[in-house]
Amino acid sequence: MAHRSIVSGDIALAFLGEDIPAIGPRFKNREAAVKAARLYLESINEIVGGAREAQVKISLKRQPDGRYSLVVESFRQLLGKLSNLDELMLKRFRKGMKKKLFILTFFVEEAGEMECLVLTEGLGAVFYAPEAIKDW
């Protein structure tokens, strides 16, 4: 599915629908990406106990190399972590948080095209983060 994606290392960012940011790891192998996405979503469901309105904390942590990690935690348990976000990717992501929500998903790069698994497979988690940008 064609859409404009921004890639930085192993992380991809795309803006879906009405400019809602979708961010996540980038894979070269579709099977590995789908498997990882399913495992990730199952673990989120187990941690939050199926509660669709569970509180999560989203924070940015500076890495020793100057890049950032996006960390999503619930009840002091790690839900997800995206490492090695450079400042340009981070600025684009923050700018896209106008609606205070984002999608954590997975991407597959095949033949120069970037496939976003939330669009093609429905594999992604939507996070509403009204306070996150204030903390960044």
The per-residue pLDDT for 91 is 87
Q: What is the pLDDT of residue 1?
A: 43
Chain Cα centroid distance, residue 130: 16
φ/ψ of 55, rounded to 5, equals: -75, 135
pTM higher than 0.85, yes or no? Answer: no
Taking the C-alpha atoms of residue 95 and residue 101, their distance in angstroms, rounded to an integer, is: 11
- The Cα–Cα gap between 106 and 81 comes to 12
Mean pLDDT by 10 residues, the chain (136 residues): 72 88 94 94 77 73 92 78 89 85 92 90 86 63
Q: Hey, what are 100's tokens?
A: 């205070």
What confidence score (pLDDT) does residue 98 get?
A: 82
